[in-house]
Amino acid sequence: MLVLVAPGQGAQAPGFLSPWLDVPGFADRLTWWSAVADLDLVHYGTEADAETIRDTAIAQPLLVASGLAAILAVFPDPAEAFRQVGAVAGHSVGELTAAAATGVITAESAMALVRERGRAMAAAAAVTSTSMTAVLGGERDEVLAKIAEHGLTPANDNGPGQIVAAGTVEQLTAFEADGPEKARLRRLEVAGAFHTEHMAPAVARLEQLAKGVDVRDPRVRYISNRDGRVVRSGREVVDRIVRQIANPVRWDLCMDAMRELGVTGILEVPPAGTLTGIAKRNLKGVDLFALKTPDQLDAARAFVAEHAAAHDAGDTDDAAPGSGLLIAPFAGTVQRGRAAVGSELSPGEHVATVASRGEEQKLFAEHGGTVLEWLVQDGDPVSPGQPLIRIHPKAEALV
């Protein structure tokens, strides 16, 4: 199964979009979205220096625009992307990229929201001198205890060995002088304490705007930063993105959800490298692709095809009239329905439910038929692609 991921603020680098301008349609999209964002995204992505694009009001629209334009370069036909991608997730502002990629909001709505998000967060950061410090290594419980002791917030939890503390500069300075044992501390080049209470004014601004945004339910699974849950309501996706501005990013739980869903490949959109780097440490055995430059596009499409094939097989085996099997769509616990061996199922009848910490999905006998054999017991743990029940389809379904 393929998961598409979009990085957050801090991933940008001077000139990272320069090679992309030769991709047909890329510069045109940036020019159009520049009008929506009220920023010259082409200039900032190709000519501006590191200090300039560190500005929150510039960095965030630049990240969302670059991610969306690259996604369209990989998937010129959005319908094809919806068929091939098993799930999407974005880190922090990357959630807006992910929301537009899965059809919850339009690209123009994403650019308008990220424009106001960046401005509002920059204004909130200007009220008090705040920042963020990465904590690398150390014992998790001790790290969290030290962060709390100094009145800081674990603003990003990126999995074992990487937690980001956020708060005032004074708090961080004291923390860095009295850090947890066996941990390395590194002050980040960011403009404020994102995903903490310091960002509350930005939440209020985005809440006003989000009420008027047209939304649709996601076309593929959307994994939320809040708790790693798969969210199926478009309105809830947008509401969660807004509230996440002042709440910690639980990327560790997002990766747990990917694992439960049976991820086999992760494709990170530009400016790529950060999230695939985290996944390399935490999702052993998963293939990773960091899309950085356009000369990788053919390889990226081949990567998509390789991992989308596994995703498609997992989604369609239960619907194929000749297969006779319903399979688990992701890792979790199975809840068997009432159908006993020998019973007749009507077309579309509910047969079983697979539930995990992040998602619950009902499985149906699309073509009906006779229950031949249950391959699991009620309450059994199951793996992605594991057969659950064998059904002999109705004769007319085989025609």
Which sequence positions are flagged as catalytic? Answer: 92, 195
Cα–Cα distances in angstroms (integers) from residue 209 to residues 32, 212, 213, in the given order: 21, 6, 7
Residues 304 and 28 sit within 8 Å (Cβ to Cβ): no
| Distance between CA atoms of residues 390 and 111, nearest Å | 48
Both structure tokens of 124: 């909130």
Listed in order, strand segments (DSSP E) in 243-392 are: 249-250, 265-268, 287-290, 325-327, 332-336, 344-345, 349-355, 360-365, 369-374, 381-382, 387-392
Cis check: omega of the bond before 381, within 30 degrees of 0: no
The residues, ordered by sequence, that sit 6+ positions from 353 with a Cβ below 8 Å of its Cβ are 334, 335, 337, 360, 361, 362, 363
SS3 129: coil
SS3 289: strand
Residue 127, amino acid = V
Q: What is the DSSP string of 14-51?
A: TTTTGGGGGSTTHHHHHHHHHHHHTS-HHHHHHT--HH
195: phi then psi, degrees, rounded to nearest 5:
60, 35
